[in-house]
Amino acid sequence: KQEVTQIPAALSVPEGENLVLNCSFTDSAIYNLQWFRQDPGKGLTSLLLIQSSQREQTSGRLNASLDKSSGRSTLYIAASQPGDSATYLCAVRPVWDSNYQLIWGAGTKLIIKP
């Protein structure tokens, strides 16, 4: 059974710092891994999708890496800003699942202090 874990559950850092969010998964048989952000009262916004054959994806100040063999992904945020404050979720799409569902971590709540 695929399980996704995110550590830490919460993180508070001063503005301008670089930071890393971690995601681990128990079964390496995945099609892809996605990082999302969730703002209070709003839906989920897809940030980056990494295919199983890829090692990383970049978008602006965000860089996500994937090490499928070790079951780990990291989301690197450079030069953090208060607007980055949100809950960050990672999710994997298992190969074995015929429902095309995503299996989700519980999220990391990020607070960037001005």
Residue 55, H or E segment = none
SS3 84: helix
Kindly state whether residue 59 participates in binding another protein, applying the rule CB under 8 A: no
- At residue 3's C-alpha, the angle toward residues 77 and 74, to 5°, is 15
Residue type, 52: S
Q: Which is nearer to another protein, 15 or 22 (CB)?
A: 22
**Residue for token pair 């999710």:** 91
Among 52, 56, 63, 72, binds another protein (CB under 8 A): 52
Q: Is there a contact between 25 and 37 (Cβ–Cβ < 8 Å)?
A: no
Q: Per-residue string for binding with another protein, 1-40, x by CB under 8 A?
A: ------------------------------xx-x-x----
DSSP 102: P
Kindly state whether residue 49 participates in binding another protein, applying the rule CB under 8 A: yes
Contacting range for another protein; rule: CB under 8 A; set: 18-26, 61-69, 76-84, 90-98? 90-98
DSSP 77: E
Kindly state whether residue 107 participates in binding another protein, applying the rule CB under 8 A: yes
Residue type, 20: V
Kindly state whether residue 76 participates in binding another protein, applying the rule CB under 8 A: no
* Closest approach of another protein to the CB of residue 67, in Å: 18
